[in-house]
């Protein structure tokens, strides 16, 4: 195949196959161990990239003359026994259908095709190429390596192209790669104008950057001639091993493929082949008309009249001086397989002749007469080591898996081009090591030195998630921020995830941070302030208690029921100190004591005030002698009131602790970024019940004191009790909604403040005025002074 269909122009690079044939035949004929005393020859026929011309050439070879005559041969002296060809699956199919009728062995050196392995349909056809069943995996691994996921695919419109399409599509789905478009190119007819008007504009205008080309060189000539842009296009071409990316007539035809990556068969170098190519000239082979025509075309010799013998121009020219688009000094994958095919026939003939020679009689030369059908039984079992040391099998079942060199195609301004090896793909390598790439060596297109971005949508950064676009491929998506409380730490995350309970998302929502453990610490300013306040108020209360003890025999202390005053002051000291239970890291013990101690001591304090208020009311309401109500004036009654009211609260607290006691817990939800260590009340009903009981006592004390507010204020403290209970009730009525609306240590601080404020209100309103009189106005703390003032009030309690 050395001519193209358009005007039968030379495809110069294909001539390497003819030279490989000549080289192999010369080697075999010089080898004294292979076919001794026998020389091999060959007939060479062109196919012109045409199914019709392929069939015509096959008939001409069978007929032995220019005018093909079916079932008739003029080759009386011809001893041809095998056919080597073709270079593509399409050509092999055309030849195989005809040659099989005559039992001629056909050794195909084109790319491996599973269709040609059907021995029922093609019993006389043998494939020498290695299997390429892993090619699609190598191409997809290359996509994954460069993070390309939006791919265009160009394949030949035949079964081989269809198989590759389905295989690569399955592999792409496994690796999250999407196919943008697929273009199928006809094989049997090269409709160049159709390609120019239909699919080529679609390819060039597509937003897809990465395009994979799969098909043999002949089938994709339609793409070659249609792709001649006058400006660089931002496309990355990935060519498979069967398409020679350098095959063209003009240098500018490869301009758009600069930076392309191509999978080429990884083959061993045949010793002596390059040396042979350097010595090839028309003068060395004067009878080779095809070589002379090739030489005139490739070196652009001027046309001469037909009746004048052509002089070979550039007599000192050499094939190694030709550009890559015209000729390659490195043996191609097709030439390597062709070389092995020729040797396979030679070794088969050698084996047949050796066996026949053992049985021949002296002087009998009939053993040299061979028939084509005799080769089949030997050919399928032929195996040998070629001159490069590689083991070669004719049996397709024993053929090795193809290995690929990944080449980078580069063109330069001085009209030179080169293929640079930048990696390789070895299917049988250990997992994860099949593909190796040298990134620093790769040169991309004309537009940028960075790896092109072959994606449908830009990657989603951490903190975002992919949102699929309706009706589009999975590789096309939008990026949406993760919802509140969730993160994504990976690129292109499908979903966001919640942080563990002990962590929280950062502002970027791309990682989780450990939550800060928080509680009302005594070392922080708020905790230290509240602690100092509690201790200060408790010391102040203790000081007041000391004053009352020291001046216990004075009229103002006696008139206020010393026992109840001492009980109230001691309970207030514990009220101030119990707030310290709320400061610091909660433990099981502190959680059990916090609320119970608080409500019990406050109940004692409030019940003492209630008892004090009842006694004052009874004593100063002028109850007649003998009345049963006067029994409440007895000191023991006040003790009973305190004990009964406090006892009921103790019973409520005991029931609370037994059924559902408070316990420490870590609250991870109330405050963002924090773990609040707090005491869970256990039973909210029990908690609010004891508070409600305390509120009921306070409300009762306030009501009784309010009724007695107009009693003489020298002997009693009704007004002070009224005002103190007003402060007490105001604080705790304000406490409830505030407590419910705050979280964390602020909630604890609110409760502490309420305890301190209400206790300080009781202390300040009831005892500070009395201390003022005791310490600063001793002249008013006498029995006479009190009686004189009482008399001025109108003697509203006669007989006392």
Q: What is the pLDDT of residue 562?
A: 81
Q: Which of 687 and 780 is assigned the larger pLDDT?
A: 687
Query: Across the chain, what does the average pLDDT equal?
Result: 82
Q: What is the pLDDT of residue 362?
A: 45
Q: Where are the alpha helices (DSSP H) in 473-583?
A: 525-550, 555-558, 562-578
- Residue 6 is encoded by which pair of tokens? 């358009």
In 3-state terms, what secondary structure has residue 83? strand
CA angle 712, 715, 719 (to 5 degrees): 55
Residue corresponding to tokens 């002990």:
502
pLDDT digits (tens, 9 = 90+) for 768-788: 888 888 888 877 777 666 555
Residues 6+ apart with CB under 8 A from 580: 531, 534, 535
Q: What is the pLDDT of residue 447?
A: 66
In CATH, what class is 525-662+682-792?
A: mainly alpha
The answer to whether 116 touches 122, Cβ cutoff 8 Å, is yes
pLDDT digits (tens, 9 = 90+) for 188-200: 544 544 555 566 7
Buried b / exposed e along 739-772 (16+ C-beta atoms within 10 A): beeeebbebbbbbbbbbbbbbbbbbbbbbeebbe
Q: What is the pLDDT of residue 798?
A: 32
Nearest to 103 by CA among 86, 80, 87, 77: 80
How far is the first Cα of the chain from the last one, in angstroms, to the nearest whole number?
141
Q: Using N-to-C axis directions, what is the helix angle for 562-578 and 525-550, rounded to 10°? A: 170
In 3-state terms, what secondary structure has residue 536? helix
Burial class of residue 394 in the structure, from the number of CB atoms within 10 Å of its CB (0-12 exposed, 13-18 middle, 19+ buried): buried
What mean pLDDT do residues 251-260 have? 73
Q: What is the pLDDT of residue 10?
A: 72
Which superfamily does 12-129+269-302+316-360+368-396 belong to?
Answer: Response regulator (3.40.50.2300)
Q: What is the pLDDT of residue 613?
A: 77
Nearest to 150 by CA among 197, 229, 211: 211
Nearest to 290 by CA among 483, 6, 506, 2: 2
What mean pLDDT do residues 184-213 have? 70
Q: Could you tell me what percent of the chain has a pLDDT over 70?
A: 82
Q: What is the pLDDT of residue 8?
A: 52
- Residue 593 is encoded by which pair of tokens? 């004591």
What mean pLDDT do residues 688-692 have? 86
With residue 741 as reference, give the H or E element that holds it: helix 718-741
Question: Bridge-partner residues for 391, per DSSP?
Answer: 385
Q: Which of 158 and 479 is assigned the larger pLDDT?
A: 479
Which superfamily does 135-266+402-441 belong to?
Answer: Response regulator (3.40.50.2300)
The answer to whether 92 touches 69, Cβ cutoff 8 Å, is no
Nearest to 444 by CA among 209, 770, 769: 209
For residue 3, name the pLDDT band (cuts at 50, 70, 90). very low
Q: What is the pLDDT of residue 353?
A: 86
Residue 222 has pLDDT above 70, yes or no: no
Q: What is the pLDDT of residue 2?
A: 41
Q: What is the pLDDT of residue 339?
A: 96
Tally helices (H) and strands (E) across the chain: 22, 22
In 3-state terms, what secondary structure has residue 280? coil
The answer to whether 58 touches 99, Cβ cutoff 8 Å, is yes
For residue 5, name the pLDDT band (cuts at 50, 70, 90). very low
- Residue 48 is encoded by which pair of tokens? 């012109």
Q: What is the pLDDT of residue 58?
A: 81
3-state helix, strand, coil in the chain (%, to 5): 45, 15, 40
Q: Where are the alpha helices (DSSP H) in 64-134?
A: 89-99
Nearest to 154 by CA among 90, 226, 248: 226
What mean pLDDT do residues 718-744 have? 79
pLDDT digits (tens, 9 = 90+) for 273-282: 999 999 998 8
The answer to whether 212 touches 168, Cβ cutoff 8 Å, is yes
Interatomic CA distance for residues 690 and 692, integer angstroms: 5
pLDDT digits (tens, 9 = 90+) for 536-589: 999 999 999 998 888 888 888 777 678 888 888 999 999 899 989 888 888 888
Q: Which of 253 and 584 is assigned the larger pLDDT?
A: 584
What mean pLDDT do residues 348-361 have? 79
Long-range CB contacts for residues 129-134, cutoff 8 Å, separation at least 24? 129/333, 129/337, 129/399, 129/402, 130/265, 130/399, 130/400, 130/401, 130/402, 130/403, 131/396, 131/399, 131/400, 131/401, 131/402, 132/241, 132/401, 132/402, 133/401, 134/401, 134/402, 134/425, 134/427
> How many Cβ atoms sit within 10 Å of the Cβ of residue 490?
11
pLDDT digits (tens, 9 = 90+) for 132-166: 889 999 999 999 999 999 999 988 888 888 899 99
- Residue 621 is encoded by which pair of tokens? 């309401």
Q: Which of 140 and 371 is assigned the larger pLDDT?
A: 140
pLDDT digits (tens, 9 = 90+) for 382-424: 999 999 999 999 988 888 889 999 999 988 877 788 899 999 9
- Residue 196 is encoded by which pair of tokens? 């120019």
CATH code 1.20.1070.10 region(s) in the chain: 525-662+682-792
Q: What is the pLDDT of residue 303?
A: 60
Q: What is the pLDDT of residue 627?
A: 54
For residue 795, name the pLDDT band (cuts at 50, 70, 90). very low
Q: Is the pTM of this model over 0.75?
A: no
Phi/psi for 408 (5° steps) reads -105, 115
Which strands form 125-127's sheet, in the order they lie side by side? 83-84, 106-108, 125-127
Q: What is the pLDDT of residue 341?
A: 95
Q: What is the pLDDT of residue 793?
A: 45
Q: What is the pLDDT of residue 291?
A: 87
Residue 458 has pLDDT above 80, yes or no: yes
What mean pLDDT do residues 722-743 have? 80
Buried b / exposed e along 35-58 (16+ C-beta atoms within 10 A): beeeeeeeeeebbbbbbebbbbbb
Residues 6+ apart with CB under 8 A from 767: 544, 548, 565, 569
What mean pLDDT do residues 164-181 have? 93
Q: Which of 228 and 584 is assigned the larger pLDDT?
A: 584
Q: What is the pLDDT of residue 785?
A: 60
What mean pLDDT do residues 480-484 have? 92
Q: What is the pLDDT of residue 306?
A: 47
Q: Could you tell me what percent of the chain has a pLDDT over 90?
A: 24
CATH code 3.40.50.2300 region(s) in the chain: 12-129+269-302+316-360+368-396, 135-266+402-441
The answer to whether 105 touches 82, Cβ cutoff 8 Å, is yes
Burial class of residue 415 in the structure, from the number of CB atoms within 10 Å of its CB (0-12 exposed, 13-18 middle, 19+ buried): exposed
Phi/psi for 529 (5° steps) reads -65, -45
Q: What is the pLDDT of residue 46?
A: 80
Q: What is the pLDDT of residue 625?
A: 54
Q: What is the pLDDT of residue 367?
A: 54
Q: What is the pLDDT of residue 694?
A: 86
- Residue 514 is encoded by which pair of tokens? 């450990």
């Amino acid at each position: 195949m050395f001519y193209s269909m358009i005007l039968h122009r030379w495809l110069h690079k294909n001539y390497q196959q003819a030279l490989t044939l000549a080289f192999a035949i010369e080697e075999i004929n010089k080898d004294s161990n292979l076919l001794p005393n026998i020389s091999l020859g060959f007939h060479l026929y062109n196919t012109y990239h045409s199914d019709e011309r392929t069939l015509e050439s096959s008939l001409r070879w069978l007929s032995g003359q220019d005018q093909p005559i079916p079932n008739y041969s003029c080759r009386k002296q011809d001893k041809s026994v095998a056919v080597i060809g073709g270079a593509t699956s399409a050509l092999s199919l055309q030849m195989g259908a005809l040659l099989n009728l005559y039992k001629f062995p056909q050794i195909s050196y084109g790319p491996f095709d599973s269709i040609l392995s059907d021995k029922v349909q093609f019993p006389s056809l043998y494939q020498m190429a290695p299997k390429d069943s892993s090619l699609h995996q190598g191409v997809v691994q290359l996509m994954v390596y460069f993070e390309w996921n939006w791919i265009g695919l160009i394949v030949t419109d035949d079964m081989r192209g269809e198989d590759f399409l389905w295989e690569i599509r399955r592999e792409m789905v496994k690796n999250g790669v999407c196919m943008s478009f697929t273009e199928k190119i006809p094989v049997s007819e090269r409709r160049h104008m159709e390609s120019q008007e239909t699919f080529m504009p679609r390819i060039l205008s597509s937003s897809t950057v990465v395009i994979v080309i799969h098909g043999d060189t002949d089938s994709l000539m339609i793409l070659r001639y249609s792709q001649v842009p006058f400006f660089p296009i931002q496309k990355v071409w990935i060519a498979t091993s069967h398409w020679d990316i350098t095959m063209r007539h003009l240098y500018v035809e490869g301009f758009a493929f600069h930076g392309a990556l191509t999978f080429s068969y990884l083959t061993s170098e045949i010793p002596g082949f390059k040396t042979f190519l350097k010595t090839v000239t028309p003068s060395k082979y004067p009878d080779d008309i095809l070589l002379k025509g090739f030489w005139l075309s490739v070196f652009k010799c001027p046309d001469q009249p037909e009746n004048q013998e052509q002089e070979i121009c550039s007599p000192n020219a050499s094939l190694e001086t030709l550009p890559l688009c015209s000729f390659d000094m490195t043996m191609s994958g097709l030439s390597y397989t062709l070389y092995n095919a020729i040797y396979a026939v030679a070794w088969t003939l050698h084996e047949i002749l050796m066996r026949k020679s053992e049985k021949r009689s002296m002087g009998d030369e009939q053993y040299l007469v061979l028939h084509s059908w005799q080769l089949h039984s030997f050919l399928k079992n032929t195996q040998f080591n070629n001159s490069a040391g590689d083991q070669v099998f004719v049996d397709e079942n024993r053929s090795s898996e193809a290995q690929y060199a990944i080449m980078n195609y580069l063109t330069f301004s001085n009209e030179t081009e080169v293929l640079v090896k930048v990696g390789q793909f070895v299917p049988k390598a250990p997992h994860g090591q099949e593909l190796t790439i040298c990134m620093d060596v790769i040169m991309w297109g004309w537009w940028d030195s960075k790896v092109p971005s072959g994606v449908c949508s830009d990657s989603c950064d951490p903190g975002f998630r992919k949102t699929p676009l309706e009706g589009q491929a999975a590789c096309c998506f939008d990026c949406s921020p993760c919802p509140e409380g969730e993160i994504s730490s990976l690129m292109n995350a499908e979903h966001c995830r919640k942080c563990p309970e002990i962590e929280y998302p950062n502002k970027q929502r791309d990682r989780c941070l450990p939550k800060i453990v928080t509680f009302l610490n005594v070392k922080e300013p708020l905790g230290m302030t509240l602690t100092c306040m509690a201790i200060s108020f408790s010391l102040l209360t203790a000081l007041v208690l000391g004053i009352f003890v020291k001046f216990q025999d004075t009229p103002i202390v006696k008139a206020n029921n010393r026992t109840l005053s001492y009980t109230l002051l001691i309970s207030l000291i514990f009220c101030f100190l119990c707030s310290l239970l709320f400061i610091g890291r909660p433990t099981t013990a502190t959680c059990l004591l916090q609320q119970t101690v608080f409500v019990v001591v406050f109940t004692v304090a409030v019940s003492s005030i209630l008892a004090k208020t009842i006694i004052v009311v009874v004593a100063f309401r002028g109850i007649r002698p003998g009345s049963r109500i006067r029994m409440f004036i007895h000191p023991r009654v006040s003790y009973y009131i305190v004990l009964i009211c406090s006892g009921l609260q103790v019973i409520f607290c005991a029931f609370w602790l037994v059924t559902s006691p408070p316990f420490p817990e870590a609250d991870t939800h109330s405050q963002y970024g924090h773990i609040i260590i707090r005491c869970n009340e256990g039973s909210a009903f029990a908690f609010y019940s004891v508070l409600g009981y305390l509120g009921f006592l306070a409300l009762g004390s306030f009501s009784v004191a309010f009724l007695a507010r107009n009693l003489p204020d020298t002997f009693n403290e009704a007004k002070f009790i009224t005002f103190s209970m007003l402060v007490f009730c105001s604080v705790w009525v304000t406490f409830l909604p505030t407590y419910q609306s705050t979280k964390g240590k602020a909630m604890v601080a609110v409760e502490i403040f309420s305890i301190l404020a209400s206790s300080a209100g009781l202390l300040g309103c009831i005892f500070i005025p009395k201390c003022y009189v005791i310490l600063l106005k001793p002249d008013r703390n006498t029995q006479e002074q009190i009686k004189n003032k009482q008399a001025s009030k109108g003697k509203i309690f006669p007989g006392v």
